[in-house]
Amino acid sequence: MPEAAASLAGLFAAAFGAATILPFQSEIVFAGLQLRGTVSVGWLIAVASLGNVLGAAVNYALGLGAERFRGTRWFPADSRALDRAQRWWGRWGVWTLLLSWAPFGDAFTVVAGLMRTPIWLFVVLVTIAKTGRYAVLAWATAAAT
């Protein structure tokens, strides 16, 4: 595997893991590859963003699956409270997905699944957040050198 492809595969894996509930960090890998200069910054941003968005989609799927616990002590059979929370989330909470790049922001992606956020809206907001983070990181890394 050529060096650039191996670097991008490693970055993808780090970004994917960083977006899940696993304790990964992708920023160091991203900045290290940018400083090494063997892969264009555009490719770094694209691959890291794709991995991070797909990792967030895993969290979304976990949230979707959590509703199977409805009727248990976590989700009482009387679903009025959950229905009310879903309405509130749909109106106001969904915008927290723009903070999915931040520490603990991945919890928002799980809640988005639980709250049945439309997948298209989830993908748009999370892609904006994750790509924006890597673009800022690329700028900061370049500015620091």
**Helix/strand/coil for 39:** coil
Read off the pLDDT of residues 30-82 as tens digits, 9 standing for 90 and up.
999 999 999 999 999 999 999 999 999 999 999 998 877 766 766 666 667 77
Output the pLDDT for position 78.
Answer: 63
Average pLDDT over residues 90-99: 92
Percent of the chain with pLDDT strictly greater than 90: 67
| pLDDT at position 74 | 64
* Residue 125 burial class via C-beta count within 10 angstroms: exposed 0-12, middle 13-18, buried 19 and up: buried
Domain extents in the chain:
3-144
Lowest mean pLDDT among 66-70, 105-109, 115-119, 126-130: 66-70
Q: Is the pLDDT of residue 21 over 70?
A: yes
Q: With a cut of 60, say whether residue 1 has pLDDT above it.
A: no
| C-beta contacts of 80-86 below 8 A and 24+ residues apart | 85/115, 86/115, 86/116
Considering the entire predicted model, what is its pTM? 0.88
Q: What is the mean pLDDT of the chain?
A: 90
Q: List 68's β-bridge partners, or say none.
A: none
Q: How far apart are CA 92 and CA 86, in angstroms?
A: 10
Contact 43, 8 (CB under 8 A): yes
